[in-house]
Amino acid sequence: MQMPKASEADKERFRAAMPAEPGIVVKPMFGNLGAFVNGNMFAGLFGPIIGVRLSEADRAELEASEQTVPLGPEERPMGGYVGLPEVWNAEGDGDVARAQVWVAKAYSHVASLPPKEPKAAKARPAKN
């Protein structure tokens, strides 16, 4: 499975699409970026594609009005996420304002979910 890497311009566009809300954490993920609130990812970058996790109603509205794409590898897209239209993600021609609307909706939806519990640290075997 080939993992596309986001360019620096893609990463800047992704950061520019984030809402100005407290508690958002943007961190690297496999050469791309993920945006989290309360430990849950609400937006991700996969190569040049920004993907969002929307409510069922918002996802249906977006898919009915725009040509969305799957988020993630073609053979195994991420369930629950939808990639924003590729034309919005075109380097130099991206439509950050339109992406911001849907990223904000994703943030609102995911922020309403229960916080993700941190995983317990794995016990390390004792050194002899």
Residue 88 domain-assigned (yes or no):
yes
- How confident is the model over 75-125, as pLDDT tens digits? 788 888 999 998 886 655 557 888 999 999 999 999 999 888 777 777 777
Dihedral over alpha carbons 73, 99, 5, 68 (to 10 degrees): 20
Whichever domain contains 89, its CATH number is: 3.30.1460
Looking at the 3D structure of the chain, how many domains does it have? 1
pLDDT of 108 = 96
Residue partners of 12: CB distance under 8 A and separation at least 6 = none
The tens digit of pLDDT for each residue in 16-29 reads 999 999 899 999 98
DSSP state of 39: T
Q: Which domain holds residue 12?
A: 8-111
The pairing of strands 25-29 and 40-46 is unpaired
Q: Which of 34, 40, 64, 52 is nearest to 102 (CA)?
A: 52
